[in-house]
Amino acid sequence: MANPSHADARSELTKRTIPFMTLAHGDDDKASVDAQHPAARNSAPGRFSISGNAIVTGGAGAIGMEVARAMLQHGLSGLMILDLAPRDSIQTLREEFPGAKVEARGVDVTDEEQVAHAVAETATLLGSVDSLVCFAGIVGCVHALDMPASQWRRVLDVNTTGTFLCAQAAARQMVAQGTGGRIVLTASISAHRVNFPQPQAAYNVSKAAVVMLKSSLAAEWARYGITVNSVSPGYMDTVLNEGEGLAEARRSWCGRNPLGRMGVPEEVAGVVVMLLSRAGSYVNGADVVVDGGGVVF
């Protein structure tokens, strides 16, 4: 016999309601493009100009730093780098771009309170939060049969939940400002196919989740003038992929790529610049694969 309380709970399901998304108001929002990128009209350089202030998570890494540099080159006024351990390279950016305000804070992206505080502090220091680029992430190569649950949870916590917390906090600030904004998440080719030869199930799942997260947020937040897109880099030739211990894997990665090589961080940076500039104003919910064509196999 069924438990009466369980039966009552099931019957209550027929009385539930769900929230509905609200989409943007179409033509009324075209003016916001000019408001966000006033220097872009009738100007070739302006088409790819970036205005306002941005947060880059994981910005002390090789790719994050190159993207931050490109954003500043294209006109960014203020930059906040959030990383577990911001390095001295931040000072290099300050010296290269004396006209911009460059700040850095140590933040654990899985800590909701730290993230919210960092975004609020950024708005106070720089005046606004207009863009967010999420690069914070970790990878772990281990056979699925040997992976402890703690490692699985940690990878998803940083790569997926951490990305959501940063996007949510930034979007809340953008909504409060009422000026729209741009958010770029970092997925991976690992979101689209299984890597070879290294086993990394947790990482692959975490990045596939980021691709769906991007689409979900793009649908929900367009009403506020916020676009959400992602980039999916392939194998990048950075210090994380160097060393004799990875020599055989590097040969495999390059040998399976139509261009026969790994990418370099500036090849990701150009795509991010496009997504943050006027040129990307009608790009929303997209994932741009930057992998030399490796994903075609």
3 CB neighbour count, 10 Å cutoff:
8
Q: Output the pLDDT for position 11.
A: 75
**In total, how many domains does the chain have?**
1
pLDDT band at 12 (very low <50, low <70, confident <90, very high): confident
Q: What are the residue ranges of helices labelled H in the chain?
A: 4-12, 30-36, 62-73, 89-96, 112-126, 149-156, 162-177, 201-221, 247-255, 265-276
Rounded to 10 degrees, the C-alpha dihedral 109/224/211/50 comes to: -80
Q: Are 286 and 271 in contact (CB under 8 A)?
A: no
Would you say residue 12 lies in a domain?
no
pLDDT band at 202 (very low <50, low <70, confident <90, very high): very high
Would you say residue 30 lies in a domain?
no
Q: Could you give the C-alpha distances from 76 to 55, 126, 159, in angstroms and in order?
A: 11, 11, 26
Q: Write the CATH number for 134.
A: 3.40.50.720
Q: Supply the pTM of this predicted model.
A: 0.90
- The mean per-residue pLDDT over the stretch 87-112 comes to 92
Would you say residue 136 lies in a domain?
yes
Would you say residue 237 lies in a domain?
yes
- The mean per-residue pLDDT over the stretch 101-111 comes to 96
Structure tokens belonging to residue 285: 């919910």
Would you say residue 6 lies in a domain?
no
* φ, ψ for residue 189, nearest 5 deg: -60, -25
- The mean per-residue pLDDT over the stretch 199-228 comes to 98
pLDDT band at 31 (very low <50, low <70, confident <90, very high): low
Would you say residue 28 lies in a domain?
no
Rounded to 10 degrees, the C-alpha dihedral 165/240/189/79 comes to: 40
Q: Output the pLDDT for position 28.
A: 56
**Is position 224 annotated as part of the catalytic site?**
no
pLDDT exceeds cutoff 70 at 297: yes
Would you say residue 44 lies in a domain?
yes
Cα dihedral sign, 132-118-85-205? negative
User: For residues 256 and 127, what is the distance between their CA atoms, to the nearest angstrom?
Assistant: 46
Domain region containing 43: 39-291
Using the 8-state DSSP alphabet, how is residue 81 labeled?
E
Classified as helix, coil or strand, 234 is: coil
Q: Which of 203, 224, 235, 282 is catalytic?
A: 203
Output 85-88 pairs: Cβ under 8 A, ≥24 positions apart: 85/60, 86/59, 86/60, 87/60
Would you say residue 56 lies in a domain?
yes
Q: Are 276 and 227 in contact (CB under 8 A)?
A: no
